Structure 1
Amino acid sequence: MFISLEGIDGSGKSTQARRLAETLRARGREVVLTREPGGSAGAEAVRRLLVEGETDRWSPETELLLFNAARRDHLERTIRPALARGAWVVSDRFADSTRVYQGATRGDLRDLVDRLHALVIGQEPDRTFVIDMDPRAALDRGLARGSGEDRFEGFGLAFQETLRAGFLALAKDFPERIRVIDGAGDADAVAARIEAAL
């Protein structure tokens, strides 16, 4: 299976992706844990261009092209080879993030997002978990990390609230693939909800 975890910045996606990979490995499955943007050498180089720097570093259209370049490399070099050999792939973000971030909040580019996805990516996860939580709490958590990769957190609370609405709307658009997971509580509680949903 190809599984992605989505949600607003600071919602716990990375922690839960790691936890899910550990759970699946404990059950004897080969698991490739990966992330976007990134997940391959070329995509990691593009990642730095996207997540560091000033909020106005790129236009929404340029961001979209950079994300697709990184995703294509990730798909070719990491995701498809893993799936071809029978491994499970757990990814911290995939195309749904682009649908929400660039498609709905950074210039209403959803039509362009979908057309580019169809042309150069053409693959969806088998299952997507959207971790839903309060935008203010998530933003505080994301900024507290001090990772230097906080360009999107820099857009502020209103941006995070718009993102949350975008992910919830996306879950309604793709009910056969996307499950919304309550992100409240500790990491163990959220991990248990994801495992039950899977």
Structure 2
Amino acid sequence: MARSLRARRRRGRLRTVALIGIDGSGKTTQAHRLADALTAAGRRATYHRNAGGRRWLGRIAQRFGRPDAQRLVGRNGLLAVESVLRWLAIALALVSCLVTGRTAVMDRYAVCQYASIRAHGGHRWERLARATYRVFPQPQVTFLLSVDPAEAYRRIERRGTDHETMGWLTAADTAYRTLPEYPTFVVVDAGRPADEVSRQIRHHLADWFPQAASAPEDPEPEDPEPEEPEPRRDVAAQARP
């Protein structure tokens, strides 16, 4: 995987990066941070939220006295709406970045729809979804933000804007890990503080950042010159870690 990633880096500019993972993994936060960091480093980038509309449908469902979107439109209806809305969002994002020449930082991508289908138990729809989404190019890098479903659940409850069950989060986590694309993902430990997660992501993209931007933020100060240097002695060379 590392060799393949290096080969993709040598092909030229960074066109598309995708951040995927279960709800509560921090995709939106990290996608915004990455777009800002790339732009600050001189590589213009744009954040794109490629949501499937589950949260929006969930709010509508509650207005009609239903607990969630699936109870409103049914499993097949939900998967159909998700697939269409996400397809349109990705298409618009790619066209926009093609026209402007900016890097597209994708908050969710096509594989998120495949994982959603699997988590809902609608496996027979996956083949149709893959045929429909096949028109989209694969991102040069796809980051899977990996977090324990229990921690994701706590984060969702803290933000208080929506709700997910532990059963759904666990099923979604399993779905991502069983996708045939999983070996191509760069798995990032998203259970760490947000700043550490950002550093992990930037480390993997270091070849696309200018050298100055990818250098350590707080370099160690140089040792001061001694007033009376001691005689030098030959010592065995050691490799730096």
TM over 0.5: yes
Written as runs of structure 1 = structure 2, the 5 A alignment for 1:74-153 is: 74-102=89-117, 104-109=118-123, 111-119=124-132, 122-123=135-136, 124-147=138-161, 149-150=162-163, 153=164
Q: Percent identity?
A: 29
Q: Judging changes above 3 Å, is the alpha-carbon distance between structure 1 residues 174 and 168 closer, same or farther for their aligned structure 2 residues?
A: closer
Stretch deviating more after TM superposition (9-18 or 156-165): 156-165
1:10 is matched with: 24
8 Å CA contact 2:20, 2:142 repeated in 1 = yes
State the Cα distance separating 1:6 from its structure 2 match.
Answer: 0.9
Q: CA offsets, 1:113-168, max 9 Å, x none? A: 33233235521322211100111111111122111x43xx1xx1122112112212
How far apart, CA to CA, are the structure 1 residues paired with 2:173 and 2:54? Answer: 22
Q: Does 1:175 align with 2:189?
A: no
2:44 is matched with: 30
Q: Judging changes above 3 Å, is the alpha-carbon distance between structure 1 residues 77 and 173 closer, same or farther for their aligned structure 2 residues?
A: closer
State the Cα distance separating 1:81 from its structure 2 match.
Answer: 2.5
8 Å CA contact 2:151, 2:191 repeated in 1 = no
Q: Which amino acid aligns with 2:127?
A: D
What is the SS of the residue equivalent to 1:59? helix
How far apart, CA to CA, are the structure 1 residues paired with 2:37 and 2:50? Answer: 21
Taking only aligned residues, the RMSD between alpha carbons, in angstroms, comes to 2.1
How far apart, CA to CA, are the structure 2 residues paired with 1:181 and 1:120? Answer: 25
8 Å CA contact 2:110, 2:133 repeated in 1 = no
Q: Which amino acid aligns with 2:171?
A: T
Q: Taking structure 1 as the reference length, what is the TM-score of the superposition?
A: 0.81
Q: Taking structure 2 as the reference length, what is the TM-score of the superposition?
A: 0.68
State the Cα distance separating 1:70 from its structure 2 match.
Answer: 1.2
State the Cα distance separating 1:193 from its structure 2 match.
Answer: 0.8
1:42 is matched with: none
Q: Gapped runs of 5+ residues in structure 2?
A: 1-14, 62-66, 206-241
